[in-house]
Amino acid sequence: MNPLGAEWRKSMRSAQGNCVEVSYRADQGAILVRDTKAEGRGPVLTFTRSEWSAFVAGVNDGEFNLPD
């Protein structure tokens, strides 16, 4: 199923069924993210390029790390 005409790629870091897929839609200037387990039937998060860049920077900076 490909409801948005997107070409989805699974994260290389996905394991044990905890997977996400991403797609870049140049025509919309959007990055799309979905849960692989939903098999195309679940919600899709949509990010602008600047939102996605801020999210990735936060991940790289440890902003979303759980406390020890």
Q: Distance between alpha carbon 2 and the CA centroid of its chain, in Å?
A: 15
pTM over 0.85: no
Q: Which residues 6+ apart lie within 8 Å of 67 measured at CB? A: none
Neighbours of 42 (CB within 10 A): 10
Question: Which stretches within the chain are classed as H helix?
Answer: 49-60
Please provide the size of the chain in residues.
68
Could you list the beta-strand ranges (E) of 1-68. 9-10, 20-25, 30-35, 44-48
Per-residue pLDDT for the chain (68 aa), expressed as one digit of tens each?
454 567 888 877 776 767 888 899 888 889 999 888 877 788 999 999 999 999 999 999 999 999 98
